[in-house]
Structure 1
Amino acid sequence: MSDPGTNWAGNVAYRAERLVRPTTVEEIAGIVTASASVRVVGSRHSFSDIADTTGTMISLADLGGEPELDAARGVVRVPGGWRYGDLAPWLQERGRALSNLASLPHISIAGAVATGTHGSGERLGSLATQVRAVESIDGTGAPVRVERGDPDFAGSVVSLGALGVVTAVELDTEPAYELSQTVYEGAHWDDVLARFDEVQRGGDSVSLFTTWRDRDLVDQIWVKCRRDAPDLSVVGARPADGPRHPLPGIDPAPCTPQQGSRGPWFERVPHFRMAFTPSAGEELQTEYLVPRSDAVAAIDAVRALTPVIAPLLQVCEVRTMAGDDLWLSPASGTDAVGIHFTWRLDVAGVSALLPTIEAALPATMRPHWGKLFALSGADLAARYPHWDDAVALRERRDPDRRFHNAAMARFGL
């Protein structure tokens, strides 16, 4: 047992009575049944209290086991405590790859999947769409395995930690591939929004970065390609004359290789290298996802708020992703565009601003579960057609509400 500490950003001090690090699935089952309240913490990259509890906090960092690759099926089974940055080179050594990664390779696989975390690419879904099966210990201490095609699968992947302790996941893989990464500068929002689909089709993954200090300027466009890098001069963009960090003036050394050089997928898909702590300093994060059809309206709504956003902002990133059928995925039922804010560490200022942003965005907006937002449980429920199904599944998997916490109470789950 040890002090549960804080999240990665330092804005949440966990209230758990104890932190435990089980080494076997059987030990996890015993901890669950012996605890009135229990939650799982991954790599601590959530900016809310979604992983917190007043009881027992479980870390899966010491859960034993290595990945198991089924080459015939193209599936890898991964223990629950593994991070993407550890799995990626393991797969590369065996000639396999994942279709997508988030901007940070440092995050835990189980935690990223459970919160609907994503990378970028209009033809690529969130990380949860790579999941073929989920193995967990439910609220009764019983093992549960759910596979793609099972009735409960769509509700079991993006689970918010409400259904149990994820002990392993199976992920789809594909043959290893190479990518190039090019950063562009000089584009303006009016030109980019007029050709939004064309810009997004320019690469396998496209991210638009801005500080909103100039409401008209897209500071950087990061494009990751399996093919040749695109010509973005149609929106006034030119390749940067050197490596860049998403934050202006920051040393780009922590970032993955740029300037069109090709290399292994896992060294280009994330924005940041596994060997570096990717933060520019203390920060908070928020992200809102809207249907692709509402993307231009949502970005214009944010542009109108730049006088109040910019003073609190470090950087904003706009990314696309393909829709899915997972009940609580923010991209459920629609191709989506994410508008991500990395804030300065000003909890009071950001908390006061979020309702203003949320009111300005289209009513179709859904927040990222692992970041900060202000929407009420009623507002959340209204935006997810399968909300009642998710609640019913939670009641079956956790009848004594062992995995309930303050975040679940706010969400209404």
Structure 2
Amino acid sequence: MIEEQVRDRLNWAGNYEYRARTMEHPTSLADLQRAVAGATRVSPLGSRHSFNDIADTPGTLVSLDVLDPGVEIDEAALTVTVGAGVRYGILAQHLQRRGFALHNLASLPHISIGGAIATATHGSGNANGNLATAVVGLELVTASGDVLTVAKGDEDFDGMVVGLGALGVVHRVTLRIEPSFDVRQDVFTDVPWDAVLADYDAATSAAYSVSLFTDWSGDSIGQAWLKSRIDSPTAAPGEFYGGTPADRAYHPVPGVAADHCTQQLGVPGPWSDRLAHFRLAFTPSNGEELQTEYLVGREHAVEAIEAMRALAPRITPLLQVSEVRSMAADELWLSSNYQRPGIGLHFTWKPLQQEVEALLPELEAALLPLGARPHWGKVFMADAAQLAPLYPRFEDFRALAGRMDPEGKFRNAFLERTVFGASA
């Protein structure tokens, strides 16, 4: 067991300072069990890519960063079991070497598997569920320090996957995999909004994954990134709704060099080097940014986009870039896409915390009536009373957490504010 005072108290973005007294880095499962059992309050800490206090605690932070990744591929079952602290990009390299793939990756391959799953982090694609939908098994250390192993189909499994750190510390995860595949990435610039919004579903079905980058001002989308599977019967796009095919590589943020981005210009390559927007070998930015995201049912896609365009005079001055993506429905209780296909309206803000927080109530006033669910790991203002009606299994999750952690060992300020608030 490696125990230390929390010296580096900032998250990746530098906008949040952890308040935990100590941090432990267990080197074995037994170490992890002792750390959890011996703590009065404890929270798991992933790769620090959350922009709020979801991973904090007044007691002990537990990081799995020095545990053996223990990558175990079951070729017959098409699954991989891996330590929850492993980063997606590292797992992708392991899988690609063995000829296997995950169905999707998030924009950043640098995030931990456990943290991404717990917050319903996603990639893109009309037919692609978020990253947590690949989970078919979990091994958790519960509040008592005992090990609980659950599998897809078990009672309450769908409530445990997107667990927000409220149910225990996830030690290992089993994920569904598939044979490896190649992807090409094509970028189009200056895509007219009217053409895309005339048939949003068709536009976002033009490739395996479609991302639209915008600052919300003007009549056109700044960039459209299309990731196409080479094994798809659908031909790679030669055009995209009137956009201009890129003749050079682009970064999503205008004016930033594309050196850290994954290969573009239609050059085929492994899924592990194309599905993320950024390359694992490089830190994609200096971290000086804030992020917010709201996920809306796809039936409200056009209405939600038009609402953001109407707010452009308020949004654009604070913004680095926004990304609009689509994802499939799932059955995970606290997933942003529980029982509905949806779109994500993502905002990468300039590091202006007060100004952004002052704007968020306006965004939420426009989007929450459309059923928008905030991304659990990003900056938002809604509390438990506002969130509860948005999740049909919200009360079931609260009851599950009460059974698994009756003394509230895993609770923190974030969970009290957004899940367990008395008004929920």
TM bucket normalised to smaller? over 0.9
Q: 2:256 matched to 1:250?
A: yes
Q: Distance in 2 between matches of 1:170 and 1:58?
A: 21
| Matching residue within 275, 290, 298 for 1:284 | 290
The aligned counterpart of 2:26 is 22
The 1-side partners of 2:160 and 2:83 are apart by 17
**Partner amino acid, structure 1, of 2:11:** N
Partner amino acid for 2:251? H
Q: How does 1:103-182 map to 2 (within 5 A)?
A: 103-182=107-186
Alignment of 1:8-19 (within 5 A): 8-19=12-23
Unaligned runs of 5+ in 1: none
Question: How far apart are the structure 1 equivalents of 2:89 and 2:413?
Answer: 30
Which residue of 362, 366, 372 maps to 1:365?
372
* Matches of 1:215 and 1:239, distance apart in 2: 19
* RMSD value, Cα: 1.0
Q: Which residue does the alignment assign to 1:95?
A: 99
Write out per-residue CA displacement over residues 14-35 of structure 1, whole angstroms, 9 at most, x where no aligned residue. Answer: 0000111001111111111211
| Map of 1:219 onto structure 2 | 222
CA distance in 1, matches of 2:370, 2:222: 28
Structure 1 CA distance for aligned equivalents of residues 56 and 218 of structure 2: 37
Question: Partners in 1 of 2:104 and 2:63 — Cα distance?
Answer: 25
Cα separation, 2, equivalents of 1:109 and 1:124: 17
TM-aligned CA deviation for residue 65 of structure 1:
4.3
**Equivalent residue, structure 2, for 1:203:** 207
Specify which of 221, 234, 239 is matched with residue 232 of structure 1.
239
Q: Report the Cα offset of residue 229 of structure 1.
A: 2.0
Structure 1 residues 162 and 386: CA distance shift in structure 2, 3 A = same
Count of matched residue positions in the alignment of Structure 1 and Structure 2: 411
Structure 2 partner of 1:376 = 383
Structure 1 position 363, deviation (Å): 3.2
Deviation string, structure 1 residues 208-234 (Cα, Å, up to 9, x no partner): 00122x33120000000014321435x
Counterpart among 282, 303, 316 of residue 310 in structure 1: 316
Contact in 1 for aligned 2:69/2:85 (Cα 8 Å): no
SS in 1 for 2:272: helix
Detail structure 1 runs of 4+ shifted over 3 Å in the superposition: none
2:60 aligned to 56, 59, 63, which one?
56
- Note if contact 1:42-1:108 (Cα within 8 Å) is conserved in structure 2: yes
Residue 195 of structure 1: CA displacement? 2.3
CA contact (8 A) 1:327 1:384 kept: yes
Q: 1:190 to 1:280 in 2, by over 3 A?
A: farther
Shift of 1:64: 2.3
Tell me, yes or no, if the aligned pair for 1:146 and 1:152 is still in contact at 8 Å. no
Distance 2:246 2:228 in 1: 16
**Amino acid corresponding to residue 56 of structure 2 in structure 1:** D
Of 276-285 and 88-97, deviating more is: 276-285
Question: How far apart, in 2, do the equivalents of 1:373 and 1:229 lie?
Answer: 37
SS at match of 1:162: coil
1:135/1:360 CA distance change after superposition, 3 Å: same
Equivalent position amino acid for 1:199 in 2: A
Deviation at 1:280, TM superposition (A): 5.8
Residue pair 1:180, 1:260 contacting (<8 A) in 2 also: yes
| Counterpart residue number, 1:391 | 398
1:286-339 CA-to-partner distances (Å, cap 9, x unmatched) read 000000000100000000000000010000000000000000000001001000
In structure 2, give the amino acid aligned to 1:24.
S
* Residue number among 167, 173, 183 corresponding to 2:187 in the alignment: 183
Other-structure match for 2:82: 78
Whole-Å separation in 1 of the counterparts to 2:207 and 2:323: 16
Q: How far, CA to CA, are the matches of 1:65 and 1:350 in structure 2?
A: 37
State the 1:181 CA deviation.
0.2
Q: Which amino acid aligns with 1:45?
A: H
SS at match of 2:48: coil
Given that 2:69 and 2:86 are in contact with CA atoms closer than 8 Å, whether structure 1 keeps it comes out as no
Contact in 1 for aligned 2:14/2:287 (Cα 8 Å): no
The alpha carbon displacement at 1:273 in A equals: 0.1
TM-score calculated relative to the size of structure 1: 0.98
For structure 1, which segment, 272-281 or 117-126, has the greater mean C-alpha deviation from structure 2 after superposition?
A: 272-281
Q: TM-score, normalised by structure 2?
A: 0.95
2: CA distance between counterparts of 1:215 and 1:23? 53
Structure 2 SS opposite 1:8: coil
Change beyond 3 A, Cα 1:73–1:281: closer
* Alignment-mate amino acid for residue 323 of structure 1: A
Aligned to 1:352: 358
